[in-house]
Structure 1
Amino acid sequence: MGGALSVTLVALAYPSMLGITTVSSAPDRVIANTQWGPLTESDRDFVVKVRAAGLWEYPVGQMGVQKGSSKGVITASQHLIDGHSALDTTCRKIAPMLNITLPNIASPQQVGFVNQLASDSKGQQFDKDFANILRMTHGSIFNTVAKIRSTTKNSLVRALADQANDTVLDHITVMEQTGLVDFDQTLFQQTTPPKLPKSDLTPPPPGAGQPPIVLTPPPTATSTPVDIDRLAGGAAPAPAPVPTVG
């Protein structure tokens, strides 16, 4: 039952605009009718956005565990790895059920965040940049999660939004608990994002036949993916072997 799907289009086009903000030509337009409810452009973009977030925040979490010089930053880093590996599992589970193509690389803007933190030496500068960048990006996505949760008619997307809401709130909280967040600066950047070209905000689509990269859960994982098999009323198709990051 999990693999059964009726779509109005042969394939769902890759999202044209993703990043801190979502700009869609018709966000409420239904692009597929599925057994779990209609899927809109906004729904599709949200699934890809959650996946893209993990593709840069997960490695930043690994970086923070190694380069963080304060207990708060190391704890926040562990939460990034834990939370995004669980979200990644849910995204990879529901994407083929909804015929959504997932990226394997974050957007150029997001890769820029990774490069900025990678260039910081271990110590106060890294800790400060880490806490403020991650607080800004999570604050930016928080309203998007709430909007999707309150408007989507698709039960799989709704379940992902529930999980994302808990994860994003947790990550906002642990960033603030580092004591390093400059709220004036961070909230300004959050509410007044730079006007970047679409190419900077769009994660590139995967190559033909390229399997989705897996964000491996840590041995001490506490975050739990959505039980999609139970939600869908049957077992979803077993995924093919895929490369891992961990």
Structure 2
Amino acid sequence: MRFRQRRRVFIVCGIAALSSLIACVPYSPAPSSGASDISTVPAIVDVDKTASPLPEAEPGLEPETGTWQTEWGPLTETDRKLITGVRLASLWEMPMAQDAVQRASNPKVREISKEIAQQHHTLDKQVRDVAAKLKVKLPVTPTDEQQDWMSDISGRSGSAYDATYVKWLRLAHGKVFALIGTVRGSTQNTLVRRFSEQANAAVLNHQRLLESTGLTTPESFPTPSN
């Protein structure tokens, strides 16, 4: 009888001891099938796919003709001429403005050139976005005429550099200004119309900045037509 009681006590004590050991072991659940580990490292944000290089026109490539149908309305040759024209303007005016920030002798020219360069950076992003949506190929180099202007400016120094820089940039802005007005008043493409308004605001501001230098002498204006 006593033996049975002792045996029962041993069994109860053994079970209690085993339960205590199990309770003290840390719980580590096995991951469920297919579950990914949790990380405290911030997730990497996807880059903007529109920032990738766009299809660009080969130098000397003939412009595409005709009118295209797009989800924003018909896209005419004149519409595309504005898009490529604004792109061409940035291709030479932006680097020349950056150059003038360093080389101009007139403090006012250096000041306005910094603003022009920054605005062309924004304008070039806008034109690339529009071109991507409308599948318009963009030029990759300035025209021969624009490269001649760049060479004329770069080949000068001092006050001659300042005056030549202001002259050619102002003349170029005047040329694209006329095209902007034509497209703004005629395009049936809502995306192009909105872009023409953005371009108009930028070009008008650049004209005012260039004229604020006081270097827009009669030599800076084109010869009046008869």
TM-score, length-normalised on structure 2? 0.69
3-state DSSP of counterpart to 1:69: coil
For the 8 Å contact 2:86–2:176, the answer to whether it is kept is: no
For the 8 Å contact 1:30–1:38, the answer to whether it is kept is: no
For the 8 Å contact 1:149–1:161, the answer to whether it is kept is: yes
Pair member with larger Rg: 2
Q: Which has the higher helix share?
A: 2
In the TM superposition, what is the alpha-carbon distance from 1:15 to its structure 2 partner? 2.4
In the TM superposition, what is the alpha-carbon distance from 1:80 to its structure 2 partner? 2.0
For the 8 Å contact 1:128–1:180, the answer to whether it is kept is: yes
In the TM superposition, what is the alpha-carbon distance from 1:96 to its structure 2 partner? 2.1
CA distance in 2, matches of 1:102, 1:77: 25
- The 5 Å alignment of 1:109-120 reads 109-120=145-156
- Residue 176 of structure 1 corresponds to 211
For the 8 Å contact 1:145–1:161, the answer to whether it is kept is: yes
In the TM superposition, what is the alpha-carbon distance from 1:144 to its structure 2 partner? 1.4
CA distance in 1, matches of 2:191, 2:109: 33
- Residue 157 of structure 1 corresponds to 192
CA distance in 2, matches of 1:136, 1:33: 34
In the TM superposition, what is the alpha-carbon distance from 1:32 to its structure 2 partner? 0.4
In the TM superposition, what is the alpha-carbon distance from 1:76 to its structure 2 partner? 2.1
- Residue 63 of structure 1 corresponds to 99
- The counterpart of 1:38, out of the listed 70, 74, 83, is 74
- The counterpart of 2:219, out of the listed 180, 185, 188, is 185
- Residue 91 of structure 1 corresponds to 127
Map Cα deviations across residues 140-194 of structure 1 (whole Å, 9 max, x no partner).
2212111111111111111211111111111100111100111x333324x56xx
In the TM superposition, what is the alpha-carbon distance from 1:130 to its structure 2 partner? 1.0
User: Where does the alignment leave 5 or more consecutive residues of structure 1 unmatched?
Assistant: 4-12, 17-28, 193-246
CA distance in 1, matches of 2:112, 2:72: 34
For the 8 Å contact 1:135–1:175, the answer to whether it is kept is: yes
- The counterpart of 1:82, out of the listed 107, 113, 118, is 118
Is 1:143 aligned to 2:191, yes or no?
no
CA distance in 1, matches of 2:132, 2:166: 34
In the TM superposition, what is the alpha-carbon distance from 1:40 to its structure 2 partner? 0.3
Is 1:15 aligned to 2:67, yes or no?
no
Counterpart of 1:186, as a letter, is: S
Q: Tell which has more relative contact order, 1 or 2 (C-alpha 8 A, sep 6+).
A: 1
- The counterpart of 1:50, out of the listed 78, 86, 93, is 86
3-state DSSP of counterpart to 2:142: coil
For the 8 Å contact 1:14–1:101, the answer to whether it is kept is: no
Is 1:72 aligned to 2:120, yes or no?
no
Counterpart of 2:63, as a letter, is: P
TM-score, length-normalised on structure 1? 0.63
For the 8 Å contact 2:98–2:117, the answer to whether it is kept is: yes
Residue identity (%): 34
User: Where does the alignment leave 5 or more consecutive residues of structure 2 unmatched?
Assistant: 1-49, 51-60
3-state DSSP of counterpart to 1:188: coil
Counterpart of 1:15, as a letter, is: P
CA distance in 2, matches of 1:14, 1:90: 24
CA distance in 2, matches of 1:133, 1:34: 36
CA RMSD of the aligned region, Å?
Answer: 1.9
- The 5 Å alignment of 1:209-224 reads none
